[in-house]
A and B are shown apart, each in its own frame.
Chain A
């Protein structure tokens, strides 16, 4: 079945550094979603991208959807300790199931 590969698995940064997580698929995606899960919490929806080449920003977070709609990225500028958590991408497969990437766990050292 369709898989969504996400890298890196872990990222440790110093507060103020930038962070990027990448999501890749071998097949064209209809859309891609991003979620954040704080330690001990549950995933929280951040954004959905639909259009080829789409770029959306939420404050320090920038989300991109590749031109071929096979990859996506989430970039955080000047990380803060509140950014700690695991970031997941998710995409609908052909059957309509939401498939999640393995997630990137971000830790931020103050």
Chain B
């Protein structure tokens, strides 16, 4: 099976702009989660989508939003970018089969805000 793919891999944006990141999960996986990774804060949970519905949300401001499509592909959007949003954004998919929450991560999108 193909792994989780994320596009774009690298992005440079200016403060105040908005950005949309895309994630295609492993075929058959219906759960998609997003994480922000920074050197100082580690891996922070953003949100999880399952069957097009947001199941969980982390402690991030409303500028961070996401959605999931019927084919399980997911997008996350960050509006009014701030310098502190510079990070590696990781998407992970899970089948949730058998109650396991094993996460398969994509390569990430490296976002730099200047």
Interface residues of A (CB under 8 A from B): 1, 31, 33, 35, 41-45, 48, 88, 90, 92, 95-103
Contact of B104 among A45, A97, A99, A103 (CB under 8 A): A45
Number of interface residues of B (CB under 8 A): 22
Q: Are A98 and B103 in contact, with the CB atoms below 8 A? A: yes
**Known interface pairs A98-B33, A100-B42; A43-B56 also in contact (CB < 8 Å):** no
**Known interface pairs A42-B107, A42-B108; A97-B102 also in contact (CB < 8 Å):** no
Q: Which residue of A lies closest to B45 (CB)?
A: A97
B66 cross-chain contacts in A, Cβ below 8 A:
none
Q: Which residue of B lies closest to A96 (CB)?
A: B56
B25 cross-chain contacts in A, Cβ below 8 A:
none
Q: Are B42 and A102 in contact, with the CB atoms below 8 A? A: yes
Residues 3 to 39 of chain B near chain A (Cβ within 8 Å): 33, 35
Q: Closest CB-CB distance, A49 to chain B, in whole Å?
A: 11
A88 cross-chain contacts in B, Cβ below 8 A:
42-43
**Known interface pairs A97-B45, A102-B42; A43-B105 also in contact (CB < 8 Å):** yes
Pick 18 A–B contacts, CB within 8 A, sort by A.
A31-B101, A33-B101, A33-B102, A33-B103, A41-B107, A42-B106, A42-B108, A43-B43, A43-B92, A43-B105, A48-B102, A90-B43, A90-B103, A95-B56, A96-B48, A97-B48, A100-B43, A100-B45
A33 cross-chain contacts in B, Cβ below 8 A:
101-103
A92 cross-chain contacts in B, Cβ below 8 A:
101
B105 cross-chain contacts in A, Cβ below 8 A:
42-44
**Known interface pairs A97-B45, A100-B42, A103-B42; A45-B103 also in contact (CB < 8 Å):** yes
Q: Are A98 and B45 in contact, with the CB atoms below 8 A? A: yes
A103 cross-chain contacts in B, Cβ below 8 A:
42-43
Q: Closest CB-CB distance, A97 to chain B, in whole Å?
A: 5
Q: Closest CB-CB distance, B12 to chain A, in whole Å?
A: 18
